[in-house]
A and B are shown apart, each in its own frame.
Chain A
Amino acid sequence: MLPTASLAAVTPHQERLARGAVAIVECFQEIPCNPCATNCPSQAFALVSDINALPVLDWDKCIGCGICVACCPGLAIFIVDGSGEQGVVRLPYEFLPLPEVGATVLGVGRDGAAVCGATVLRVQNSPAQDRTPIIWLQVPPEHIMSVRHFKF
């Protein structure tokens, strides 16, 4: 169902992952949409006039601010950080209740299957995010490219 083969194309090289937070744009189909590109403060997305074109992100320009995560109507953007001893995944979460900071949750993958335990580091829910909270999860570094949702 999910064209997971395309995942390689949106995964930054190891050196970039180790450098710090970066956006992973899991948008694999040409649809008329472009808020990610128009809202990025670093102009990290390739500027194209065709709004159907797939978003192309320059990982070296991305500063991992997370603005694109909350404005993507596909909820298809995640921020991963592989620079520390523990990995961090930031994901959009439009459900209530929101988890408590420090809570232990179950990280799940793109298919909803359990991946690993995770700890909630931060719950980001500013007015600018317009009701799309972003949850920061601490996960083992090898799972930053697998955890995409969580249960608790």
Chain B
Amino acid sequence: MEQREIVVIGGGPAGLSAALQAAHSGARVTIIEGEKRLGGQLIKQTHMFFGSHKQHAGTRGIDIATLLENELRALPNVEIILGATVLGYYYEDGALTIEDHEAFRLMIPKRLIVASGASEKFLAFPNNDLPGVYGAGAVQTLMNVYGVKPAQRVLMIGAGNIGLIVSYQLLQAGVEVAAVLEAAPQISGYLVHASKILRLGVPILTRHSIKEALGKHTVEGAIIHRLDDRWQPVPHSEQQITCDTICLAVGLSPLCDLLWQAGCAMQYIAELGGYVALRDEGMQTSVPGIYVAGDAAGVEEASAAMVEGSLAGLSAALSLGYNSPADEELTAELRQQLDDLRAGPGGAKIRSGLEKLHPTADNPKEVT
């Protein structure tokens, strides 16, 4: 059984920031990432990010990953384990089971920070099991991580930021985008992202959805239809689209299996993407010593994920006695950054989700 001081699960922006902050505070940190490189979602993001200077706004996602990684690698009190997946958490003794290059490891951390990110939602429609129906994340991985042109002509489902950005990146890779469909009356992604693809001639069809995929062995097209005010298909509004790939960008849900296993009090909050753990201001869950940050705590943005990660890293280190006179000021500053990021109309959904997050009768565990 290996002993560790602070273990961070996940090497995305939240986990990287958590590890950095905890290490800066003086704690010994181990970060475990299932992929072969650090960065999480950031390694697929070739576009410039929003936010303010403090969250590296105007820098491309991939370059933010490199910045954070270099900073982390320069610290002597950080251990980085790549290509290793945390399989389970045993609440009886607080042990993590890890699959590390076909070896099985058991690790007991004094503090655990879960920054495992989110998984893509799927959509039910006839023939959605045809090869050629992808999640937007997979298309992005093929294109931006492996340099593979994923399609000739894509139909994108979902006009949130992910659908709009992946459409733009497909166009950059020389792929045609037949249309972007959005079931809601308005797009939920940023207007500036929509404008980028509109001026490239891609139609964004609101109140539209996919009826079925067409094709014998692989996707050859799709039937789409219009939706009315009650989200019901409008009769005779079907239209046929020719495409070899259908890309789904219909949302994410927090990856929180390990938090369930640990017995953390969980609550279903649609605005945050699904079940999320209750937590205090320092991102500690209802189980003392277990912290959560980033998309695993509620699907949001990398900017907020980084700040939440720093908060979690700071409070985990503090609880181990690694304190400095500047901690109070830093905590206040991080909380202010989160409030600022969530202050605008775009943050309304997150704000309302976070307001609902509290202990209830079904969820009696006190958050301390």
Q: Which residues of B contact A38 (CB under 8 A)?
A: 52-53
Measured between alpha carbons, how far is A95 from B347 in the docked complex, in Å?
31
Asked whether A1 lies within 8 Å of B199 as measured between CB atoms, the reply is no
Contact with B along A20-36 (1 / 0, CB 8 A): 00000011111111110
Closest chain B residue to A32, Cβ basis: B341
Smallest distance from the beta carbon of B45 to chain A beta carbons, Å? Answer: 11
Asked whether A73 lies within 8 Å of B199 as measured between CB atoms, the reply is no
Knowing A32-B344, A73-B50, the reply to whether A110 touches B192 (Cβ < 8 A) is no
Measured between alpha carbons, how far is A58 from B171 in the docked complex, in Å?
34
A-contacting residues, B307-343, CB 8 Å: 340-343
Asked whether A112 lies within 8 Å of B201 as measured between CB atoms, the reply is yes
> A84 near B: Cβ within 8 Å?
no
Interface centre among B52, B206, B344, B346, by most chain A C-beta atoms within 10 angstroms, is B344
Asked whether A110 lies within 8 Å of B195 as measured between CB atoms, the reply is yes
Measured between alpha carbons, how far is A29 from B47 in the docked complex, in Å?
19
User: Mostly helix, strand, loop or mixed at chain B's interface?
Assistant: mixed
Knowing A30-B345, A32-B341, the reply to whether A112 touches B199 (Cβ < 8 A) is yes
Contact with A73, one of B49, B342, B347 (Cβ below 8 angstroms): B49
Q: Which residues of A contact B201 (CB under 8 A)?
A: 108, 111-113
Asked whether B51 lies within 8 Å of A74 as measured between CB atoms, the reply is no
Smallest distance from the beta carbon of A131 to chain B beta carbons, Å? Answer: 8
Asked whether A74 lies within 8 Å of B60 as measured between CB atoms, the reply is no
B-contacting residues, A75-105, CB 8 Å: 75-76, 94-95
Measured between alpha carbons, how far is A69 from B190 in the docked complex, in Å?
18
Contact with A along B175-219 (1 / 0, CB 8 A): 000000000000100111111101111101010000000000000
> B70 near A: Cβ within 8 Å?
no
Measured between alpha carbons, how far is A73 from B196 in the docked complex, in Å?
11
Smallest distance from the beta carbon of B147 to chain A beta carbons, Å? Answer: 13
Smallest distance from the beta carbon of A75 to chain B beta carbons, Å? Answer: 6
> A149 near B: Cβ within 8 Å?
yes
Q: Which residues of B contact A73 (CB under 8 A)?
A: 47-50, 57-58, 192
Contact with A39, one of B58, B172, B191 (Cβ below 8 angstroms): B58
Asked whether B51 lies within 8 Å of A33 as measured between CB atoms, the reply is yes
Knowing A27-B192, A29-B191, A31-B192, the reply to whether A112 touches B344 (Cβ < 8 A) is no
Q: Which residues of B contact A29 (CB under 8 A)?
A: 190-192, 345-346
Asked whether B346 lies within 8 Å of A108 as measured between CB atoms, the reply is no
Q: Which residues of A contact B340 (CB under 8 A)?
A: 32, 50-52
Smallest distance from the beta carbon of A53 to chain B beta carbons, Å? Answer: 8
Contact with B346, one of A26, A30, A109, A113 (Cβ below 8 angstroms): A30
Q: Which residues of A contact B193 (CB under 8 A)?
A: 74
Asked whether A52 lies within 8 Å of B347 as measured between CB atoms, the reply is yes
Asked whether B192 lies within 8 Å of A75 as measured between CB atoms, the reply is yes
B-contacting residues, A51-75, CB 8 Å: 51-52, 71-75
Knowing A73-B49, A75-B192, the reply to whether A34 touches B198 (Cβ < 8 A) is no
> A132 near B: Cβ within 8 Å?
yes
Asked whether B198 lies within 8 Å of A35 as measured between CB atoms, the reply is no
Contact with A111, one of B171, B199, B303 (Cβ below 8 angstroms): B199
Smallest distance from the beta carbon of A2 to chain B beta carbons, Å? Answer: 6
Asked whether B48 lies within 8 Å of A76 as measured between CB atoms, the reply is no
Asked whether A31 lies within 8 Å of B344 as measured between CB atoms, the reply is yes
Measured between alpha carbons, how far is A132 from B196 in the docked complex, in Å?
13
Knowing A109-B199, A111-B199, the reply to whether A32 touches B51 (Cβ < 8 A) is yes
> A130 near B: Cβ within 8 Å?
yes
> A3 near B: Cβ within 8 Å?
yes
Contact with B57, one of A35, A52, A148 (Cβ below 8 angstroms): A35
Smallest distance from the beta carbon of A12 to chain B beta carbons, Å? Answer: 20
A residues apposed to B, CB below 8 Å? 1-3, 26-35, 38-39, 50-52, 71-76, 94-95, 108-113, 130-132, 148-149
What are some 6 contacts across the A-B interface (CB < 8 A)? A29-B192, A32-B344, A33-B52, A34-B57, A111-B198, A132-B48
B residues apposed to A, CB below 8 Å? 47-53, 57-60, 171-172, 187, 190-196, 198-202, 204, 206, 303, 340-347
Closest 9 pairs between A and B when the two form their complex, measured CB to CB:
A52-B344, A74-B192, A112-B201, A35-B58, A73-B48, A33-B50, A149-B199, A30-B344, A71-B58
